[in-house]
């Protein structure tokens, strides 16, 4: 939207003041790639954090099922661990939502 309505301001972000003329094409390409990669990097970061937490919860949950035939105390201990991990995952989800919103806001602010 910034490129459409404020073309001059948007293009000014691609080059620092006082850029030597021979470097202008290279810097424009680098900055354009940087702008296009930002959403991808944000998505990869969010996906990796979500998958890591879910995988850990799944593995510990499977351990609870396997240990249920062996020992009640081991099941109790791993169940407590699973509960604490679930609470941690909820906290991580809140932090991830905050960071995602903050980064999207910053990216959009830079492009308008």
pLDDT in tens, 57-100: 898 888 888 888 888 888 888 889 889 999 998 998 899 889 88
pTM, two decimals, is 0.63
CB-CB contact of 9 with 2 (8 Å) = yes
H or E element in which residue 61 lies: helix 24-67
Domain chopping of the chain, boundaries: 41-112
- Distance in Å from the first CA to the final CA of the chain: 7
CB-CB contact of 14 with 27 (8 Å) = yes
Helix/strand/coil for 1: coil
pLDDT digits 0-9 by tens, 9-23: 666 677 777 878 888
Q: How far apart are CA 76 and CA 78, in angstroms?
A: 6
């Amino acid at each position: 939207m910034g490129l459409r309505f404020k073309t001059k301001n948007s293009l000014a972000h691609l080059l620092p003041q006082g850029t030597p003329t021979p470097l202008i094409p290279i810097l424009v390409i680098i900055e354009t790639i940087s702008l296009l990669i930002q959403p991808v990097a944000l998505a990869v970061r969010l996906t990796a954090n979500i998958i890591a937490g879910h995988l850990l919860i799944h593995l510990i949950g499977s351990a609870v099922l396997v240990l249920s035939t062996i020992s009640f105390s081991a099941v109790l201990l791993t169940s407590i661990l699973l509960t604490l991990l679930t609470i941690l995952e909820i906290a991580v989800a809140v932090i991830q939502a905050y960071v995602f919103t903050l980064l999207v806001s910053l990216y959009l602010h830079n492009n308008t």
